[in-house]
Amino acid sequence: MTQNTGNSTRHWAQATLLLPEKYAEAVSDALMEAGALSVSIEDAKADCEDEQPLFGEPGMEPTTTAWQQNKVLALFANQADGEALLSELAEEWLQNAAISWEDVAEQDWVRLTQSQFDPIEITPKLWIVPSWHAPSAGADVVNIRLDPGLAFGTGSHPTTKLCLRWLSQGLAKGKAVLDYGCGSGILAIAAMKLGAASAIGVDIDPQAVESAAANASENEVSVTTGMPDHPNAKGSFPVVVANILSNPLKVLAPTLCAHVAPGGWLVLSGVLERQAEEVAAAYTPWITMSVWQTDEGWVCLTGQKTNP
C-alpha cells in the first residue's frame, strides 16, 4: 500500500512491537540495519501512574535507553516488506512480541506539529508564544518566544508552569538568578524579562546549553549559559531555581543550597505530590522547604535561606 489509489497521498506501514527492556534497543538497532525507514522507542506505560523517566544522575549519562516495557515503532514502505523483515528477527528476539500494524499517511508534518502548540498563558501577564503565533497584546504583558524543541521546558508541563508562576510573583526586580538544569532556558529567560539583573542557566546536557543560548538570543535577553562548572555559576545567588526530577534534586541538595545567598530563595520543581516530603527532608540541614503551589499532581517547593 505504497500509494493511495484515490489520490496522490503517499502511505506507509507502521509496526508497533511491545518489547521488554532487554530486547528493545537491540531490536531497534537491528530493524534500522535491516532497512526500516525509521525506528523509535517509547514508554509503553507513558501517561499513566507507572510511567518512568529516563535520566542519569548529575554529570553522568543515563544507565539505560529503554523502559521496562517498550513500544518499538518501525516504519516500512509497505506491510509486506515489513512482515518479511520482521520474520528474519522473529527467531532470535520476537517469539513473544505483540505486533500490530497501522497505515500512516503522508502529512504536512510541520503544519501538523505547529497546530498542536498554541500560546500558553502562565498568568494573564506572562505568556509563552511559539514563533508561528502573534505575541499577546498589552503594554504590561510579557511574551516569551519559544518553540517546542529537544530541550525540556516549553512551558506546557505543570512543573515549568509552577516555576514560571513563582518567578512572576516572587522575583524581586534587580536580583540575580541561577537556573540549575536550565533545559530550554525558559526560566532564565523569564527571569530577565521579569526584571532580573542577571541570569545564568546551566545544564549537564551540551545540547540544552546550546538551545538555551539560542532561545535567549531569540528573546533578545542576555543569559549566560554553560555547564554546572561554569565560572559564573560558582557563587551564590538571591534566587536559585531547579526544575529537574526528585532523585537528582535530592542528590543535588548540598550543591543547590550552597548556591543560595543568605536571605535568598530556592525554588524546586519536578516533584510529584507524593515525593514532596522526601525531597524537602533532603534540604532540611540547610533550608526549610515547603509546598508553594500544586498543579496536576506536581508541586513547587520553596524555601528561604535564613543563615549564612
- How high is the mean pLDDT in each 10-residue block of the chain (308 residues)? 47 86 83 86 68 46 62 89 83 72 71 64 87 77 78 76 95 96 94 96 93 94 96 95 94 96 96 95 97 94 88
pLDDT for residue 119: 82
Query: Read out DSSP for 193-255?
Result: HTT-SEEEEE-S-HHHHHHHHHHHHHTT---EEE-TT-GGGSS-EEEEEEES-HHHHHHTHHH
For 45-58, the DSSP string reads TTTSTT-------T
The pLDDT value recorded for residue 57 is 40
Coil/strand/helix, residue 25: helix
At 68 the three-state DSSP class reads: coil
Rg (CA), the chain: 23
Report the Cα 293 to chain-centroid distance in Å. Answer: 20
Query: 11-106 — its CATH code?
Result: 3.30.70.120
pTM comes to 0.66
What pLDDT score was predicted for residue 97?
Answer: 74
126 DSSP β-pair partners: 123, 142
Question: Can you give the pLDDT at residue 133?
Answer: 77
pLDDT of residue 8: 57
Q: Tell me, what's the pLDDT at 32? A: 85
- Which pLDDT belongs to residue 121? 86
Domain ranges of the chain: 11-106, 113-304
CB 119 within 8 A of CB 64: no
**CA neighbours closer than 13 Å in the CB half-sphere of residue 87:** 6
Tell me how far CA of residue 178 lies from CA of 209, 233, 241, 289, in angstroms.
Answer: 14, 7, 6, 18
**Hey, what CATH topology would domain 113-304 get?**
Rossmann fold (3.40.50)
Number of Cβ atoms within 10 Å of the Cβ of 84: 13
**pLDDT of 99:** 87
Task: Give the residue from 249, 2, 291, 44 showing the smallest Cα distance to 303.
Answer: 291
d(CA 199, CA 179): 7
Question: How wide is the angle at C-alpha 38 spanned by C-alphas 35 and 78, nearest 5°?
Answer: 65
Q: Which three cell numbers stand for residue 94?
A: 520476537
Helix extents (H) in the chain:
21-34, 79-90, 109-115, 158-170, 186-193, 206-218, 246-251, 253-258, 276-283
